[in-house]
Structure 1
């Protein structure tokens, strides 16, 4: 395990020799930072230490729906380790932060060695699959209030804070709803004393209350993000 203290869970579980071979470079992610765009080459992997990014599917009319969320627990661009050369989705920063980048060719070489980097990367792929499947079902099955509660809670978990900056435009993209719908739904949560929302800043006042409003998808996704090894037989470091 690395002797360097990382906040990113994947990096924290790697030996120092692997960390050195990855040639990590510190990077700052501003709000709205474009990390991947459909059809653009994937040149780097990104490991968030702080902040949060969303992966969205973009439709012909320009609308977007979130299909994945990235925080401190994993890596952005992992599909490139399995042969993908160009991004299939848009990935951009929803909450500003910082982390590390790694050249994709360097990462592919390390992945091909079959050691702990490969094991942890594949484990995170499993987590992404669960998150994407659950989010897709959630968008189709649950109402706007449940989905907004779920999303706000997941954001708070990823940034370790009940207060963070987030615009209504971003929220509407993430939930696949119109901005007026998001505004009305956020207003309902505010009236119930669950959140405060002012000038682009969300403050969760009652986490337990928000969990009651949220659908079961919140805990399913949270459990997999918090513990990627939930269904593993163990990983050799």
Structure 2
């Protein structure tokens, strides 16, 4: 069953997954597709199989900073669907992929009738809040190079070693100037840790990147394991 490519859906019992699968549709999510606008109502819930969803806080002056990533370890839109709320962020596909998609009303109906499913969704929301808090602390305390390496580790966890990414986008996601990202990317490439060209990054030496990263990548993995009591994600 293709839905099992998502970690959360894969945790469900076969009977429950079969029931939910009747309302799920698998579809592509191209890079740059906007899944939600700030303060807009959420009509669909996405369980990614691949790719990365980026949650971004936008400022009045046109700036933006990423607060969290969602990959095949999670879900976007479930918490909003459960409480009939709107999105607090601009949400966009950072890396293309595909997902199992369900209408918000259908998800809320199933979750109301199935405590085990509702509990799983709330567990992920607990983890995502921890990720957002960790990101806020990281942005305030750590150097651009340490944050870049942390960011690359998280990207690797979710998307592998080949990452379609421009320096402009990375700078925006990290809330820094492009010149800062260009300098750091050049240092990492010179050290043989990455290769960057034409909007594409390939990770060459994950161990070296981990050595230069701040502790936040490991903390995010730890948060996930603690919430789900599992070693499957983030390893």
Q: CA deviation at 1:20?
A: 4.1
Contact kept in structure 2, 1:195 and 1:203, CA below 8 Å: yes
Q: Which residue of 2 aligns with 1:152?
A: 152
TM-score w.r.t. length of structure 2? 0.91
Alignment size in residue pairs: 228
Q: Any gaps of 5 or more consecutive residues in structure 2?
A: 231-235
Query: Within 5 Å, which residues of 2 pair with 1:162-201?
Result: 162-201=161-200
2:195 counterpart SS class: strand
Matched-pair contact (CA < 8 Å) for 2:42–2:81: no
Greater per-residue helix proportion: 2
User: Does 2:21 align with 1:12?
Assistant: no
Cα distance per residue 1:4-58 (max 9 Å; x no partner): 6611011111234433443001110101110111122100100100101110110
Query: What do you get for the CA RMSD once the two structures are aligned?
Result: 1.7
- 1:142 & 1:191 partners in 2: Cα distance? 22
Match of 1:46 in 2: 46
1:55 aligns with 2:82: no
Contact 2:3 2:100 in 1 (8 A): no
What is the TM-score with the length of structure 1 in the denominator? 0.91
How far apart, CA to CA, are the structure 2 residues paired with 1:185 and 1:174?
Answer: 15
For structure 1, which runs of at least 5 residues remain unmatched after alignment?
232-237
* Cα separation, partners in 2 of 1:5 and 1:112, compared to 1, 3 Å: closer
Report Cα offsets for 1:191-215 as digits up to 9, x if no partner: 1211110111111111110001000
Q: Give a deviation string over 1:33-86, Cα, whole Å, max 9, x none.
A: 101111221001001001011101101011111111100011101221342432
Q: Where in structure 1 do 4 or more consecutive aligned residues deviate above 4 Å?
A: none
Q: Secondary structure at the match of 2:73?
A: coil
1:222 Cα deviation (Å)? 2.2
1:78 aligns with 2:78: yes
Q: Show CA shifts across 1:174-233 (max 9, x none).
A: 1111111111111111112111101111111111100010000010112334664139xx
